[in-house]
A and B are shown apart, each in its own frame.
Chain A
Amino acid sequence: MYSYLIRRIVMLVPVFLAVSLVIFLILHFIPGDPIDNLLKVGSSPAARAEMEARYGLDQPLPVQYGIWLSKVVQGDLGTAIVARRPVSDLILQALPHSLRLGGLALLFSSVVGVGLGVLAALNRDKWPDRAIMGGVLLGSTMPSFWLGLILMLIFSVWLGWLPVSGARSASALVLPVLTIGLGGTALVARITRVAMIEASGRDFVTLLHAKGLSPLRIQLRHVLRHALIPVVTILALRIGWILGGAVTVEVVFARPGLGTLLIKSLSQHDYPVVQACLLMLAMAVMLGTLLGDILQAAMDPRVRAALA
């Protein structure tokens, strides 16, 4: 098990290098120049050169990449060119908001999704199954910005229960969490339902039935446990969504977060910030993949046995 873990972690190093290179290169394809945003229009070429030198933009690309990477490895994300402050400050300001929103949305869609999935599986092909699956499907097909605006219209404007936007109170989180959570619920519910149905067909279930355990107990105690493996794996794999996928909802509700920071910096060509945001997301994704594999190994007795 440990050697497997170590092997997996070592394998992340070349992936990290490749990802950082891709991120670095992609940004330099985007037309436009961050220095333009900074310089007073009509400044002398000398002032421009001075500014470029200050941010290391006068170096050849490979050198820029090397400098950036060595700093990143040491934990220095650089200074934002347009926002004029350490990138780490910006990210640390945004990250808690993203984690809160993404984490709660994930919690919402896991709990509600698993619950509905189990309910649907228990009533397989009967009307509650159809109603639940139809409902969650509808929830996942509404564009999130649209759903967000409609929820805002109903709960903030007409009913006046919740704040319209911002992140100034906990209640401001309700609508964004609901908007993202409803979209994710469908995926979780679908996977849970299928996994439950599949696990019910396994031999051990027949055995448990033969032992005389109550069917509901079998479903909730034993079948669900098996069914959760694919659910957890999928959730871990899609961890990038937690941090970056909320961008549209963040924009609709004028919330701070990693997504908004990324989009804003992208349009201003604030390379250091965009690079750092993408790198953070990529690292989260890599760790999520790792976590998914480990969880799968830990929860599935067969995989556990094979690795021992």
Chain B
Amino acid sequence: MTPPAPLRALRRPAGAPAGLWLILVILAAIAAPLLTPYAYDIQNLKSAYQPPSASHWLGTDEFGRDLLTRLIYGARTSLSVSSIAITISVLCGMTLGAAAAWFGGWFDRAVTTVVDLTWSFPEILIALILVAIIGPGTTGTMVAISVAYLAQFTRLTRAQIMTLKGETFIEAAASLGAGNAHILFRHLLPNALAPVLVSAMLATGDAIILEATLGFFGLGAQPPVPSWGGMMSAGSALVFKAPWIIIFPGLAVAITVVAINLYGDALIAELDIRARMRRAV
């Protein structure tokens, strides 16, 4: 028996280190309190701006807090905000895309037009406008990110369903008298799922960057809760004084997103869905 694709992807040359890094980051985020002797929020103003040392591996921030501790806790915020946002986005996008593809006609045209337009709009602008409406903080960020990526999943799902619609097994089911809902939920969506899930994973990487960018504008998670974006935002004003405050969270974002992409690529190869993914771009 072959192991499932996510495990097989771990055996690929680029998938292995990428997958391991992701597992490491997720475990660290979950076990954060066990990993570090420091608290992420207790200030010790006397030991502010310390460069990396034996007691503070990544140095301290402007309030004397251990940067590694905050980086680990920050992973919690950044990963959970972006993955929850993408989950919402996927659920809504799939519903919308499936409905558009299934019902066709004016509904499809309307959805396609709106989706194409928003897809062509820079995500950061969509997110900034939404945060202006909802207000800053974790909730606002999550909603903003999920709306910003809605178009992508709607497009993808719609394209998948459109291709599948023409396939023989669907026509067979329809001719056997299966209802709309039955065909959509039992046959179409499950088959469209794999490409959507993989692209959701890749989008989570982009969402981490978007979350960080909103954090840079001071609109993400509110202090003292650390997030990678928020840490970089504070560090950006201190870049010449204590460059480590901004460098490490930035590296954390870059490495994690690279890992997500490499692992995602490995997964695509394992699932053999490259052609189906591209058709939707």
Taking Cβ atoms with an 8 Å cutoff, the residues of A that contact B are 15, 18-19, 26, 29-31, 134, 137-138, 141-147, 149-150, 152-153, 157, 194, 234, 237-241, 244-245, 247-248, 251-252, 259, 262-263, 266-267, 281-282, 285-286, 288-289
Contact = CB atoms under 8 A, between A and B. Distances in A.
Interface stretch (B32-40, B89-97, B239-247): B239-247
Contact of A145 (B133, B213, B262): B213
Interface stretch (B64-72, B171-179, B252-260): B252-260
Contact of A149 (B113, B135, B217, B246): B246
A281 B133 CA distance: 19
Contact of A18 (B114, B257, B258): B114
Most buried by A among B125, B236, B239: B125
Given A146-B250, A149-B239, A141 B124 contact: no
Interface in B132-150: 132-133, 135
A21 to B, nearest CB: 12
Interface residues of B, number: 38
A145 B120 contact: no
A26 B125 CA distance: 13
B232 interface: yes
A248 B121 contact: no
Contact of A248 (B116, B124, B132, B262): B124
A26 B126 CA distance: 11
Main DSSP-derived SS at the A contact region: helix
A240 B250 contact: no
Contacts of B209: 141, 143
Contacts of B21: none
A240 B253 contact: no
23 contacts: A15-B117, A19-B117, A26-B133, A29-B133, A134-B258, A141-B209, A141-B257, A141-B261, A142-B250, A143-B209, A143-B216, A145-B236, A149-B236, A153-B240, A245-B124, A245-B125, A247-B125, A248-B213, A248-B216, A266-B132, A285-B120, A286-B117, A289-B116
B278 A194 contact: yes
A153 B254 CA distance: 18
Contacts of A143: 209, 212-213, 216, 229, 232, 250, 253-254
Contacts of A285: 117, 120-121
B267 interface: no
A247 B254 contact: no
Contacts of B117: 15, 19, 282, 285-286, 289
B129 interface: yes
A144 B133 contact: no
